[in-house]
Structure 1
């Protein structure tokens, strides 16, 4: 496995060998870095390069934390209480809306359709119009937290950075102007919520987590902290003895209510971290673990946070695209595993599962193995008049009970819609090529 040298290491090494480059890096760090790597860094973030001498030493202090001392303490202890849940709730969410009614089967509609690619493109634009009306002006995406077992327990909106990053990564494949505008707005929101040296929290009253950190880092890859890999050390330090990445980035003095999470290595979290860190020696153990899970058909029940196998396969397939050469041995096996989930007229399950399966198959180069017309019709026909797709369980805590609140699930029409748009972009590409 090839060792990837970090961008900061490259700069220091080059400056040590090339005096002219050193002088340019000291005088114009942003321009020099952008020219060296062919990138455009985030525009409003200053970059300073300091040179130590034999009689001058520079001690660089991190920025002050964004949380107060009381908030930091709450992040350690609040997860056990209902007060914690109240603090993370926003406005009450409306009741779950029923899905769109389908009057014919996908196969019948596919046979009767004319230009399915055009219909798919129109569906994408309607979906983006819906998202434009629901995403906050500051770029934050809303998700709904609900009780899996009891729909009568009140539902509430939440706006964690993780959800925004998750949805924007799905939209990045679209060349539609509105998709690009949504992505740009969300990038700004993720910059506003970053904590040094490049970590994010799902809630302000929880510790930072690697799921949020990996996805947010992928979205704002041009931010200097991310581009210069400032968050690599805390991520790499958050592995268990088997080399798998743990979900929570915890201080050593965390109380038992939180520290028990530390033993958990989630396959989706590990796939997301691999997508960000890439194919390097430090991710080799996590890659082998995921390869074994998939090869031995052991993903069912392996994830604490993600409800079904297709969500796990989707994350692994995305990692294969985001981190070329990582998990490459899984490509043919992963396609077979995804196709095993297809159940004839029922497809891959609900419309969110279908969208995830379509995009995962595209990412492993096997989308031609399914009926693109049928799946396009399935997704288009499930879209509501307002351009949305139905709210479905996207992720959630499938095991723990939070007192009287019960099992917590997360999903939203906007989340389902983002994944359906991604799938339609892939399907339209195949339809136009065929």
Structure 2
């Protein structure tokens, strides 16, 4: 029998064979579904199960669109309109803050693991306080859009759902009450920006995309649309002839507004899809493609949207943990590749790259191969007095072939800080566990 591609098919198949389960599903759908799938459902969402008979048919209507017909038409055709693009931007952002002088941080090498862990824990809390002060009342995170080639081009704040999801996935590593509160607030924002049956887009004038969709789905994974796999079939339909997942999801009735710079298969996007959908026959081709690219070291220039190999390794390691046993064969390869990126002084690059390297090493089970005290000292030394870490390039259009105008970067102090908190949680955790 063909394996169901989503949880809805699994539930229907079970109900068709098991009359007891069918009765429980009708009597108390929430409990029956949670027990069958082994996962809690979002308690803010009602669940109704209806049974058709020979004399009763149910027609289920999708939810009404959040946007009016005029708004949908403006979003559909807005890519050609500079004025519409301007309206999708938020308020202008301030200039990049000059690098802060290095803070005087006591040498940690002579301290006990307990003392270093306490210093790291305090740094985490300061970082969380900064992050909390910078997300808006809806729970949305911001990043700054800037031109890599020309820093004089005006910078803009933007708050796409993608950025919130990217940061919250990093922040989920923290058990601090402040981190949990931030994540809860942001999950509500992502639910509010979701389009049926579980898709998101970066800007409203762009098509839906699998990068935004899979990251947001991972964050609100207990929402019934996501848990029941309502978006799975459409995600799976967005594969190329090799079985790799394409970035953009183009509707038949909208112009191909991304054709001129579309990338057919991005390694990070494919890793995120694998993390979202898990290890299943439909993702195996993408897994093999990603494994081959990493094993054969063919990553240079392979990602249009992410700036370096560490970003690809980070996403792949995250997918490895969330979609076990998918990509498991890459575990030793990833560890060696990440450690091989260190310079002669043992540095991984800037503090954002270091943070992603630490988290990736944790996911592949190799964090013990680095000096935790030394890395914690580096994070403490690069943290600003207000608890933040520097704004750095996190993602954006990296392709040079489209010219300098196309080199768009995105990042913010909040984005960097989320990854630094994640890295510190992993490093501090190793010391706390050892103690």
The root-mean-square deviation of aligned C-alpha atoms, in Å, is: 2.2
Aligned pairs for 1:34-113 (under 5 A) are 34-102=34-102, 109-113=107-111
Alignment match, 1:162: 162
1:69 to partner: Cα distance = 3.3
Alignment match, 1:205: 205
1:112 to partner: Cα distance = 4.3
Q: How many equivalent pairs are there?
A: 431
SS of 1:417's partner is helix
Q: Flag as ranges the 4+ runs of structure 1 deviating above 6 A.
A: 400-404
Q: Residue 145 and residue 278 in structure 1: after superposition, are their counterparts in 2 closer, same or farther (change >3 A)?
A: same
Alignment partners' CA distance in 1, 2:94 and 2:290: 38
Alignment partners' CA distance in 2, 1:152 and 1:209: 30
**Does the CA contact (< 8 Å) of 2:117 and 2:431 recur in 1?**
yes
Alignment match, 1:184: 184
Aligned pairs for 1:22-421 (under 5 A) are 22-102=22-102, 109-114=107-112, 115-260=115-260, 263-345=263-345, 347-399=347-399, 406-421=406-421
Cα deviations by residue, 1:365-407 (Å, 9 ceiling, x for unpaired): 0111111111111111100110000000000012279999652
SS of 2:248's partner is coil
Q: Residue 80 and residue 335 in structure 1: after superposition, are their counterparts in 2 closer, same or farther (change >3 A)?
A: farther
**Does the CA contact (< 8 Å) of 2:397 and 2:406 recur in 1?**
no
Alignment partners' CA distance in 2, 1:93 and 1:433: 41
Alignment partners' CA distance in 2, 1:77 and 1:291: 38
Cα deviations by residue, 1:199-254 (Å, 9 ceiling, x for unpaired): 01111111111001001101111101001000001100111111110111102344
Worse overlay, 216-225 or 399-408:
399-408
Worse overlay, 159-168 or 109-118:
109-118
Q: Residue 93 and residue 346 in structure 1: after superposition, are their counterparts in 2 closer, same or farther (change >3 A)?
A: farther
Alignment partners' CA distance in 2, 1:140 and 1:45: 21
Alignment partners' CA distance in 1, 2:182 and 2:291: 34
Cα deviations by residue, 1:152-187 (Å, 9 ceiling, x for unpaired): 111111111110010000011111000000010011
1:19 to partner: Cα distance = 2.4
2:21 matched to 1:12? Answer: no
Alignment partners' CA distance in 1, 2:80 and 2:375: 43
SS of 2:249's partner is coil
Cα deviations by residue, 1:89-125 (Å, 9 ceiling, x for unpaired): 1111111112332378x9x934344521111101000
**Does the CA contact (< 8 Å) of 1:77 and 1:258 recur in 2?**
no
Alignment partners' CA distance in 2, 1:403 and 1:276: 33
| Runs of 5+ consecutive residues of structure 2 not aligned to the other structure | none
Q: Residue 394 and residue 288 in structure 1: after superposition, are their counterparts in 2 closer, same or farther (change >3 A)?
A: same
**Does the CA contact (< 8 Å) of 1:99 and 1:382 recur in 2?**
no
| Runs of 5+ consecutive residues of structure 1 not aligned to the other structure | none
1:279 to partner: Cα distance = 0.5
What is the TM-score normalised by the length of structure 1? 0.94
1:79 to partner: Cα distance = 2.8
**Does the CA contact (< 8 Å) of 1:372 and 1:427 recur in 2?**
yes
Alignment partners' CA distance in 2, 1:85 and 1:344: 44
1:53 to partner: Cα distance = 1.4
